[in-house]
A = this chain, B = another copy of it.
């Protein structure tokens, strides 16, 4: 891997000739070639079959030539490896036996990532073999809070009342659960780095539901510990605090190399709130990909301009949705490259 990869230089806060671009959930249902694979296997089979997971990881690189690939996997993979049964249905993920009491903590533990999630590491090794040398591979995991919400709610939360009830009623055990997830995720992400991941994104998809008090009391410490441990392995860490643009001043304490920004704030203002001297990733509203292309291009150019030349990775402010026309993604890539 040449150290001059556009994506890695931007992650390290360097000036780049243009902003590198990838999009969250780029290996996903909006791609006909992805849907063709999914017709043959379930979502879980796809995650657990390295040849297929590697194939869908590579699909968007072949079609669009994105500046980075991201491992195809799921946020709940490490939770299953920690000992909790996970099911995937049409309605999303579900845990038949969520963590609801302090006694339930006995059912979760750290794990050996090669033994329990070897298929993820094998996927990474396969992708690295196939990927052009100049395209880095991003590994990922959920942040401790977001993973904890699945463990406690047993599904994708709505008001996250169960999670907060557990936090308020059992604060010490809640911190123990978050620390345990942080530890397990550290091992999991370091194994990804050893397998060949050249950057790591930590998705805090649901952290937008916490109050500043809860951020301080529960979320910050295990997240910061995880970020520091992965950074110590020598790869840049992108932290994506979805929905938490409101408290970016506090979010900056996480100590990441790059902060993923959702679309709720212009990216230059977001960078200022983070303290000014950090790399940022984002932040086009994914709905702009529904068209028309003229509006998409205008807004994309604005993101490029606000992102600036130094330390900006172009991305959406959230994952691409299944109803996006593939040709609009081509238009986006062209707009960012030609901006």
For A292, the closest partner residue in chain B by CB is: B169
A244 vs B208: C-alpha distance when bound (angstroms):
11
What is the 8 Å Cβ interface bit string for chain A, positions 304-339, against chain B (1 contact, 0 not)? 000000000000010001010000000000000000
Whether A247 sits at the interface, judged by CB under 8 Å, is yes
Measured between C-beta atoms, what is the minimum distance from A163 to chain B in Å? 8
List CB contacts (< 8 Å) of A79-103 with chain B: none
Whether A286 sits at the interface, judged by CB under 8 Å, is yes
For A287, the closest partner residue in chain B by CB is: B164
Contact indicator B161/A288 (Cβ below 8 Å) = no
Contacts of A266 in B (CB 8 A): 212
Contact indicator B246/A321 (Cβ below 8 Å) = no
A245 vs B212: C-alpha distance when bound (angstroms):
12
Whether A275 sits at the interface, judged by CB under 8 Å, is no
Contacts of A212 in B (CB 8 A): 264-266
Interface residues on A, range: 35 or more
Contact indicator A287/B208 (Cβ below 8 Å) = no
A160 vs B286: C-alpha distance when bound (angstroms):
10
Contact indicator B286/A265 (Cβ below 8 Å) = no
Contact indicator B264/A213 (Cβ below 8 Å) = no
Contact indicator A290/B165 (Cβ below 8 Å) = yes
Contact indicator A291/B161 (Cβ below 8 Å) = no
Measured between C-beta atoms, what is the minimum distance from A203 to chain B in Å? 17
Measured between C-beta atoms, what is the minimum distance from A24 to chain B in Å? 13
Contact of A287 among B165, B243, B286, B296 (CB under 8 A): B165
Contact indicator B264/A165 (Cβ below 8 Å) = no
Q: Can you sample 11 A-B contacts with CB below 8 Å? A: A159-B287, A161-B323, A164-B285, A168-B291, A169-B292, A208-B264, A212-B265, A212-B266, A213-B299, A245-B246, A246-B246
